């Protein structure tokens, strides 16, 4: 799933300079995934070089995607993000299927995955070894509570959101310093039987599969589209902010993974679901493990609370076009789309309980998400053909090669998912395709405009 921009970020992004733009790009990317996904990458590729290589390539994909969304957002400012890009560049059917997939796969699945990260670190904090069902149950309880809170209109304020961001940065800094300075490096023995018995084709497929969790952790570079219109001299500042922000995240992510591999080794990293806590436990003992587990759990709750309020704007845009349940555009007394938030939360809970395994939900989400990333990138070609170049429109550096590289990377990830995890991928694609007949049902209904949410 892609980690969305928060309402707070959108509110604060006024007259932004280079430093502000860079911080918002980094804040939109860095989430809970970097504390967990290193182990999922290590399960696919089995050497430090390939592990770090997967995170480096994932960073390049994120950088290309950030530039693509910067150009799209500079041309289309209407609320709705990818839904609006796909609707205007391609067809309302494509946009509807995206919104349908966002509700039933991408957003809800991503929330379920992050809820499991929260649960695993709560159990780590308590020193309890929990089953997958226990983690799913605790994660579902957190989702239910946060859904209720957001339905009654309670939003985290600026101070709270800043605290969550500071906690994440402090946790990363503590992990890197303690891991390098205090923990003993792991044995550098590499299992030659695993590498030697693998063909080039198998290694390529494994590397493609390793890009899946890396891409999930890098999710959020597309949040630049929410601040593009509020940056001073966007033609100069935004590209520089995107470049510095994404490069900064690449450095942070590579550093975190280097520390994890350095302390745990490739095999040890693949065997723990809480790699950050494992590193800290080796560096500072049980107190270190509990300390970082607490920071990760708290910051995860902050992300979940804020992310619940962003995707409903897409469902609102669909209902506003007469292409979705009218109730999803209904606002309660606090001007919050409570029905949309409640439905989204209920589906996330269902996914968490049914799937229960973090990596399974990860594959379920990313398989559909990258398809719509590629389609959104293709919108660049459509908009460029339709509209003449103007001075205030951001242009992708290296287009069309940058754009084609991003589309090709999305295709590689999709193929790897279908090849290695066919059942998860087919389930998510099946749900996505159910949106096609659903579109024609709603397309026949009369259109009714609604009042936008606050």
pLDDT tens, position by position, 46-105: 889 999 999 999 999 998 988 888 888 777 766 667 888 899 999 999 999 999 999 999
Kindly state the tokens that stand for 240: 């520089």
Range name among 151-155, 260-264, 266-270 with the lowest pLDDT average: 151-155
What mean pLDDT do residues 322-348 have?
A: 82
Of 56, 45, 29, 107, the C-alpha closest to 416 is: 45
pLDDT at 449 exceeding the cut of 60: no
pLDDT at 293 exceeding the cut of 90: no
Distance of CA 297 to the CA centre of its chain: 17
* Torsion sign, CA atoms 198, 199, 200, 205: negative
pLDDT at 383 exceeding the cut of 80: yes
Q: What is the gyration radius of the CA atoms in the chain, in angstroms?
A: 21
What pLDDT does residue 392 have? 67
Cα gap 363→426, rounded to integer Å? 11
Cα gap 118→445, rounded to integer Å? 41
- Kindly report the length of the chain: 454
* Torsion sign, CA atoms 378, 383, 389, 390: negative
Cα gap 85→375, rounded to integer Å? 9
Give the burial class of 286: count Cβ atoms within 10 A of its Cβ; 0-12 exposed, 13-18 middle, 19 or more buried. exposed
Cα gap 275→282, rounded to integer Å? 11
The pTM of this model reads: 0.80
Cα gap 398→401, rounded to integer Å? 6
What mean pLDDT do residues 369-388 have?
A: 89
């Amino acid at each position: 799933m892609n980690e969305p921009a928060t309402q707070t970020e959108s509110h604060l992004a006024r007259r932004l300079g280079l430093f502000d733009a860079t911080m918002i790009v980094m804040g939109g990317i860095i989430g809970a995934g970097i504390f967990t996904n290193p182990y999922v990458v290590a399960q696919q590729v089995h050497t430090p070089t390939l592990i770090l290589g997967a995170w480096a390539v994932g960073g390049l994909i994120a950088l290309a995607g950030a530039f693509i969304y910067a150009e799209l957002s500079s041309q289309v400012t209407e609320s709705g993000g990818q839904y609006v890009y796909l609707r205007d560049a391609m067809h309302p059917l494509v946009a509807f299927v995206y919104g349908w997939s966002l509700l039933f796969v991408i957003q809800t699945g991503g929330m379920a995955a992050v809820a499991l990260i929260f649960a695993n670190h709560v159990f780590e904090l308590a020193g309890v070894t929990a089953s997958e069902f226990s983690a799913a149950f605790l994660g579902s309880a957190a989702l239910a509570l946060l859904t209720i809170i957001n339905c009654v209109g309670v939003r985290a304020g600026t101070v709270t959101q800043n605290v969550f961001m500071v906690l994440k940065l402090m946790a990363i800094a503590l992990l890197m310093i303690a891991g390098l300075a205090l923990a003993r490096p792991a044995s550098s023995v590499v299992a030659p039987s695993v590498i030697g018995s693998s063909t080039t084709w198998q290694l390529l497929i494994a590397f493609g599969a390793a890009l899946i969790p890396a891409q999930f952790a890098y999710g959020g570079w597309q949040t630049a589209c929410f601040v593009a219109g509020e940056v001073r001299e966007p033609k100069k500042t935004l590209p520089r902010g995107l470049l510095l922000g994404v490069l900064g995240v690449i450095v942070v992510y590579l550093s975190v993974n280097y520390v994890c591999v350095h302390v745990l080794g490739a095999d040890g990293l693949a065997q723990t679901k809480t790699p950050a806590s494992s590193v800290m436990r080796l560096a500072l003992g049980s107190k270190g493990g509990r300390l970082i587990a607490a920071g990760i759990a708290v910051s995860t709750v902050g992300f979940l609370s804020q992310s619940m309020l962003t995707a409903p704007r897409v469902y609102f845009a669909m209902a506003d076009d007469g292409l979705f349940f009218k109730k999803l555009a209904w606002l309660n007394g606090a001007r919050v789309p409570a029905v949309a938030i409640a439905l989204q939360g209920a589906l996330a809970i269902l996914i968490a309980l049914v799937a229960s395994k973090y990596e399974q939900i990860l594959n379920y989400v990313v398989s559909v998400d990258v398809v719509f990333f590629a389609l959104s990138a293709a919108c660049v070609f459509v908009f460029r053909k339709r509209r003449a170049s103007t001075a205030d429109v951001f242009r992708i550096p290296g287009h069309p090669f940058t754009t084609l590289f991003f589309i090709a990377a999305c295709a590689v990830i999709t193929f790897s998912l279908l090849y290695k995890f066919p059942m998860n991928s087919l389930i998510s694609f099946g749900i996505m395709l159910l949106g096609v007949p659903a579109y024609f049902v709603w397309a026949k209904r009369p259109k009714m405009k609604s009042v936008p949410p606050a």
